[in-house]
Structure 1
C-alpha cells in the first residue's frame, strides 16, 4: 500500500505554509527532498527528510485545527515570509504556525481568514466554486447609475473581462460590491478603467463569515456554527470544477459529421464526395468510377486529351486504312476518335493519302467486296 503524499501537501500539513506557497518554494529551489533539490510533483514517504531554507521540516502531529478571522488593517502585507516587514503572521503573533486563506491588498483592510488546515484553502479559493466575497468601497468622486451598471456587467481588465457581480450604491461616493472572482487588485482596476480612484476598501464578508463588530487589528476564532456552515458550503467544492468541464465540450459540435443519420444517406453527405486532391489521383489509378466506365474502350496509358496523342492516333488510323473494310470503318468511327482523324485525311482523290490508299471503287476494295 502506497503511504506517500504529495510534497506540497506534506509541507502544508506541517503548518509551514499553504500548498500554493509550497509550490513556489519548490520552484525557487528552496526545498530539499532527501538532500536533493525537490521538483514539482515529488511525493513524500514516511522516513524521507525535507528541508526548507536549510531548516528540517518534520511531519506534524495530529493537532487541533485552527480557524481565525482577522480584521486586517491597511499597511499589513498578506504573506508568510517573516523577513518581510509588517507581514501578517508576525502581526497576528499566534503561537502555532498558521497561514492566510487568500490575500488582501496591503492598502486594503477587513476580513481575512487564517488556518493551519491546508485542505480547506483550495476549496475556498478555487474560482470555479463561486464563493462570494463582499466589499465596501469608497472612491474619489460621486458615482452614478452608469457606473453601477458598468461595474455590475463586467469590466475588461488584465486581458479578460470580469464576471457579472452585484453592485449597490451606499452613498455619493460609496458602494457595496460582491465578487466571486479574485483577480489581482480587481476592484481597484475596475474603478480605474471607469475613471475612478479607490480611496478606501474594506472586506466585510467571506462566504458565511462576516466581519461584524470585530475591531480593526483584532482576531477571533470561528464559532462552531460558522465552521459547520462553512464546511457544508465547501463539501462539494471538488465536484463543482469537474461538473463545469462538460459544458466546455458541448460548445464543439462540428465533430458530428458521421452520425448514424448520415450513414443512412451516404449519397447526400459531404463526406462521400470524392472532390479532394488526394482522392482524385487514386480514383484515376483504379478506373472504376462511372465516368471511367463509359470510356472503357480507351487505353489507360493513352490520354487523348493531349495534342501528341491525337497526332499519333491519326497516323495509326491512316496506316490501318488499307486493312479495314468500309463496314469496320463505319462501326469503329462511331465510338473512337481515330475516325475523325481519318475523315480529315479523306479530302479527295488528289490528296496524297487518297492516291496511296485508292478511292472507294479501287481494285482492292472491289476484291474485298467480292469475297464477302
Structure 2
C-alpha cells in the first residue's frame, strides 16, 4: 500500500472497492475471531470512510441513518432555528445585504438581548467574510451573519450566508452547529460535549422567505466528520474585510467559547475509526533523514529539528483538548483550493497554536511533512495510517 491509495479524497474508487469487498467478507471474518481482530482497524476504517457512498440513507456518513439523525434529537429544538431568526423582516434585511439593512439586523439581535435577563444567555452577532469556505449551496457566498445562541442545555452556532459578490445569486444556506452540554435524561453536565450539524435552506417565493433544509430540498449532504474533526472550527475572517474595531471582541469571545468545549463528540461518528491522530508527539518516522526528504531542501539543515518539533499536532489535538486530526485531514481539498490544514497553518498562520517562529516556507514544509508522515512513510517504513491499518503486531 502507498500514498496513492489516499490521493483522491473520499471519492477514490479504490477506497470504495475495498470497503465493498470488506462488507462481503464480514460473514467469513465472524467465523475466525483471530482474523477478525487483526482486521479490526482495516475493517472499521473502510466501513467508516465509505459509508456515505455505499450505504443508502447515510449521506452524512454517520452510523445513524440521515432521517433519524435529523428527526431524533436529545433536545427537540437543538437543531431548529430559533423562531426569532425566522422573522421575515430579519431575513429580508439579510437578503438586502447593504449597510443599513445589516445594521437593522444587528439592532434586531440587540433587541432580543434586551428580553434576556441572564447575561450568560445573551446572543452574540457579528458579520464577517470567510477566507476559504463558501456556503454549501453552490452560490459561492463567502459572507456570514453569525449568531451565537447559548442555552442551558446546548449552544447553537448559526451562520447565515451573505453574498459577498452582488453579481452572484442570493445564498440559500444557513448552517447550524449545535453543541449539547447536558444529558437530556438527567440534566447533568456531559463529561464531553456532543454535537450535531444541519444545513437549512432559504426558499424565496412571492416576497416570503421560508426556511427548509438543504437535505430536504436537494437530497444532498456530506460526511460531517471529514471536515469537522472539531465540531466548532475557529472563525478566521478575511482580515482586510473585517471590522476589527466593532466586532473584534465578539469574535474573540466566540473563538474562546468554542475552545472551551474541549474535544466534542459528533453524534453518529466514532473518531477512532478514521485512523490515528496526525502529528503525534513522537514518531519513528521523524528522523533527520525523513525531515530532510519531506522538506525537499526548502528548510535549512539547522532548522530541521525545529520543523520536527512543530509537527506535534496531537499535543493539542489529542481527543481531549481538541478532536484528533485523522483521515482525511491534510488531503481533503476545500472549494477554494488547499486543505483545512494548509489554510490554518500556511494562510492563517494560527496553527500550530502559539508558534510564531516559522517562516512561510517552513510552514509549507510543515504541511508537506505531516502528510508524508501520515500517508506516505519513508524508505521501508509505512506511513502512520498504513501502519495502523496493518496492525503489524498481528503478522
| TM-score relative to the length of structure 2 | 0.20
Structure number with greater Rg is 1
Q: Which has the higher contact order (CA 8 A, sep 6+)?
A: 2
Structure with bigger helix share is 2
| TM-score relative to the length of structure 1 | 0.21
